[in-house]
Amino acid sequence: MSAMGELPDLYPGFAERRIDTAAGIAIYLRTGGSGPPLLLLHGYPQTHVIWHKMAPELARHRTLVIPDLRGYGRSSAPMGDEAHQLYSKRAMAEDCLTLMRALGYPRFMVAGHDRGGRVAYRLALDHPEAVAALVPVDIIPTAEVWRRITAVSAVRGYHWQFLAQPFPLPESLIGKDSDYYLEHTLRSWAGPRDLTPFSPEAMAHYRALMHDPARVHAFCEDYRAGAGIDRALDEADLAAGRRIACPALVLHGSHLPTGPAGTPLDIWRGWCSNVSAVTVDAGHFLAEENPQDTLAALVPFLEANAGAV
């Protein structure tokens, strides 16, 4: 058994499922609530449990589908391939499309935090017929990150370069003290610069993720894909003039640094035909740092676009 083992249940009353997608990948997910479907995607270095503080309220408005991304949590974590396509956001988006269709939802809304936000906007670009509304949480597109690297951002966002280093360098270094690496990362990106936003139960899930070498390898592959195929796909879409057609709401924390490139909304306007933004008083982890204000921003957008599902 992997290091994920027995962990606290943060979604009491939600169903628990595994759905097989392409090439033998099994996606673990929780489902609950009622109403139009909303797919909720987590980021790094976390799992599906990031939404647990918001899920009870969201379940009053939507049927929630909350998976672990390929390579994370309890989902399959295959060894990466030479081109890193197994962990491209296109492949992860295909997983999401397969599981939503398997659940009977050919069209749905999607909100994604961090890496999950990158899967979400790739899903909207590749499968516009399926995505009724998009909510990227505290990110800008991958190509834009690489285009805007400066000395300051390279130091602040060192993990983009570090995790993309060839196997097995980052895996080996993280494995020497995975708890330290996890806690340093969470503290560095959280608004209060400590672990207070994260419940002990959620931390148990995140520590288990870091204790499993297969999943450490998976998220390194996720970032290797970000430096290669994901960036290339983004650049190809930009060059072809493709835009995200569905309504989009960009949520970002008030601690997100902005510079000469402009605000997150300024950047997303170059990618979306219909986009707005809301700033939430938080660091990077909006759903855990400030679930009340995140809900206050998200729910009206979901209601306004409910007819599109």
Q: If you average pLDDT over every residue of the chain, what do you get?
A: 95
pLDDT in tens, 23-74: 889 999 999 999 999 999 999 999 999 999 999 999 999 999 999 999 999 9
| Interatomic CA distance for residues 123 and 91, integer angstroms | 10
Average pLDDT of the segment spanning 153-182: 97
Would you state the structure tokens that stand for residue 235, as one six-digit string? Answer: 């650049």
Reported confidence tier of residue 258, pLDDT bands at 50, 70, 90 = low
Contact predicate 46/209, CB 8 Å: yes
Question: How much of the chain, in percent, has pLDDT values that exceed 70?
Answer: 96
CA angle centred on 294, ends 301 and 50, rounded to 5°: 115
**Of the candidates 171, 167, 170, 164, the residue with the CA atom closest to the CA atom of residue 228:** 164
Annotated catalytic residue 252: no
CB neighbour class for 3 (10 Å; exposed up to 12, middle 13-18, buried from 19):
middle
Average pLDDT of the segment spanning 287-294: 98
Average pLDDT of the segment spanning 143-149: 95
* pLDDT for 117: 98
Average pLDDT of the segment spanning 243-255: 96
Average pLDDT of the segment spanning 217-244: 98
Give me Rg for the CA atoms of the chain: 18
- Give the burial string for 50-75 (b: 16+ CB within 10 Å, else e): bbbbbbbebbebbbbbbbbbbbbbbb
| Interatomic CA distance for residues 13 and 60, integer angstroms | 13
Q: Of 114, 138, 222, 230, which one is the catalytic site residue?
A: 114
| Interatomic CA distance for residues 263 and 214, integer angstroms | 36
- Predicted TM-score (pTM) above 0.85: yes
CA angle centred on 59, ends 191 and 126, rounded to 5°: 75
Reported confidence tier of residue 22, pLDDT bands at 50, 70, 90 = confident
**Neighbour count for residue 168 (Cβ, 10 Å):** 13
Reported confidence tier of residue 281, pLDDT bands at 50, 70, 90 = very high
Contact predicate 9/33, CB 8 Å: no
Q: Of 42, 61, 113, 284, which one is the catalytic site residue?
A: 284
* pLDDT for 4: 62
Reported confidence tier of residue 2, pLDDT bands at 50, 70, 90 = very low
Residue 3 has pLDDT above 70, yes or no: no
All residues at 6 or more sequence positions from 75 whose CB lies less than 8 Å from its CB, including other chains: 25, 26, 27, 28, 67, 68, 69
Annotated catalytic residue 95: no
Question: How much of the chain, in percent, has pLDDT values that exceed 90?
Answer: 92
* pLDDT for 77: 98
DSSP the chain: --TT-S---SSTT-EEEEEE-GGG-EEEEEEEE-SSEEEEE--TT--GGGGTTTHHHHTTTSEEEEEPPTTSTTS--PPPPTT-GGGSHHHHHHHHHHHHHHTT-SSEEEEEETHHHHHHHHHHHH-TTTEEEEEEES---HHHHHHT--HHHHHHTHHHHHHTSPTTHHHHHHHHSHHHHHHHHHHHHSTTSSSTTS-HHHHHHHHHHHH-HHHHHHHHHHHHHHHTHHHHHHHHHHHHT--B-S-EEEEEETT---BTTB-HHHHHTTTBSSEEEEEESSSS-HHHH-HHHHHHHHHHHHHHTGGG-
**For tokens 């069209």, what's the residue?**
107
Reported confidence tier of residue 1, pLDDT bands at 50, 70, 90 = very low
Average pLDDT of the segment spanning 232-259: 91
Residue 255 has pLDDT above 90, yes or no: no
